[in-house]
Amino acid sequence: MGNLLDYLKEYHDRDFLQSPFCEVDAVILAQLSYLDFDGVVPSWQEDKEPVALPQIQKRMDPEKVFFFQTYEQQNRKLWELLLSGKRFRDMRCNFYCSRLDWGEEMQFAAVTFFLPKEKPVVAFRGTDGTIVGWKEDFNMTFQPHVPAQEMSARYLDAIGPRLGESFRICGHSKGGNLAVYSATMANGDVQERIRCVYSLDGPGFLPEILPEDAYGRIRGRIRRILPVSSLVGMLLQNYERYEVVQSTAFGVLQHDCYTWKVEKNGLLRAPDIEAKQKRMDEVLNQWIFALPQKEREMLVNSLFEMLEGTGAKTLAEFSEDWKKNLRFCLTYMRDLDPDTHRRFRRLVKMLFEIYGSVTQDAIRRELSR
């Protein structure tokens, strides 16, 4: 038993004919989408040949590629293992796209992987730690179609015809939501060729978002995988059945795929979401859907006005001087009504916990002052 890195150590010299593509490979590629391939992988708007990992290694600036601090050390190890074994070493990458727009409140990235002796995989990046990226996630609670979702549909329709007979889609966190959204909204021919969609602890949708007929055509090909203490993956309306995996972490930190337990060539299953967590998720969703849309919008805008008031552009920056920034938030919340104040405290605590840079006990001590 181990994690993604242990799996690669075990299977790194087995190609996809010896050990066919499995769910752990999908998790690895979803995680790989958190790398910044700008300038080293051809753009989705170019007509260029895909590049292999050794070529990327020669061209890239590691400090730029491994930009996402939350997963930086694990992603560096992951990259080394991919290069060292024949399973992924000859994999080629193409159609990179990355957009960060504060005005549109959009954070989006996608890349397509061409596996040796296997079908291509389209991978959508999850939230990358920017404040604007998290703002877009929260906008999903009131906005019918956020910009990243619309961008994911354009991306898939643009590159789908160039992927051969069939392909897979994957994504972690918001990337899982984009994977499902793009597959649902895809043009008929593109949608028909989708073999499987992996949503890895990805949040759901407002009830009115996905057209029933289009979603019904793709529903049976969606695999929704959640950790036993899933919070993010249980948010909003989720139509798909789900599978549950065990994790070495506790609480919200299970959102990190590197904590998911791997046994042989599969994720180690659990019977269901933990009962306590499931009750908490139900309460959170009931709260979201009980509020009128305008109130949800005002709440989200006020929350992120508060976070942006600290001057931080990313949650990593927010966490670096976390006591000062947390006190700023507490001061901001002082004049809020008791119900909104309580909700803000819970959401700020959740953001800190997801990034794991501050212990739960430390947050609790500050919030209890």
Q: Which residue has the tokens 């954070």?
A: 107
Sequence-separated (6 or more) residues with CB below 8 Å from residue 38: 64, 96, 98
Q: How far apart are CA 60 and CA 38, in angstroms?
A: 9
- Provide the β-strand partners of residue 196: 168
pLDDT at 23: 97
Per-residue exposure over 104-143, b if at least 16 CB sit within 10 Å of its own CB, e if not:
ebbbbbbbbbbbeebbbbbbbbbbbbbbbbbbbbbbbbbb
Q: Which of 88, 251, 71, 281 is nearest to 175 (CA)?
A: 71
The 10s digit of each residue's pLDDT in 85-100 is 999 999 999 999 999 9
**Cβ atoms of 271 and 244 closer than 8 Å:** yes
Q: How far apart are CA 337 and CA 333, in angstroms?
A: 8
pLDDT at 12: 87
| Alpha helix ranges (H) inside the chain | 4-11, 23-32, 53-59, 62-65, 72-84, 131-139, 147-159, 174-185, 188-192, 212-218, 275-290, 293-308, 315-320, 322-333, 338-355, 360-367
pLDDT at 324: 84
Q: Which of 151, 140, 199 is nearest to 171 (CA)?
A: 199
Burial class (CB in 10 A: 0-12, 13-18, 19+), 265: middle
pTM of the model: 0.91
pLDDT at 236: 87
Long-range CB contact pairs, 63-70, < 8 A, 24+ = 64/36, 64/38, 65/35, 65/36, 65/37, 65/40, 66/35, 66/36, 67/36, 67/128, 68/34, 68/35, 68/36, 68/128, 68/129, 69/129, 69/316, 70/129, 70/256, 70/316, 70/355, 70/356
pLDDT at 62: 96
**Cβ atoms of 119 and 164 closer than 8 Å:** yes
The 10s digit of each residue's pLDDT in 104-133 is 999 999 999 999 999 999 999 999 888 898
Q: How far apart are CA 235 and CA 206, in angstroms?
A: 10
Q: Which residue has the tokens 């009962």?
A: 275
Long-range CB contact pairs, 348-351, < 8 A, 24+ = 348/307, 350/231, 350/252, 351/134, 351/315, 351/318
Q: Which residue has the tokens 């789900």?
A: 242
Domains of the chain (ranges; CATH) run: 4-278 (3.40.50), 291-367 (no CATH)
pLDDT at 296: 86
Name the 3-class secondary structure at 12.
coil
Q: How far apart are CA 317 and CA 134, in angstroms?
A: 14
Question: What is the residue-level pLDDT of the chain in tens, covering all 369 positions?
Answer: 799 999 999 998 999 999 999 999 999 999 999 999 999 999 999 999 999 999 999 999 999 999 988 899 999 999 999 999 999 999 999 999 999 998 999 999 999 999 999 999 999 999 988 889 889 988 998 998 999 999 999 999 999 999 988 999 999 999 999 999 999 999 989 999 999 999 999 999 988 888 889 999 999 999 999 999 888 888 887 666 899 999 999 887 889 999 999 998 899 999 988 888 888 788 778 877 888 888 889 888 888 888 888 888 887 787 777 788 878 887 888 878 887 777 777 777 766 666 555 555 555 566 566
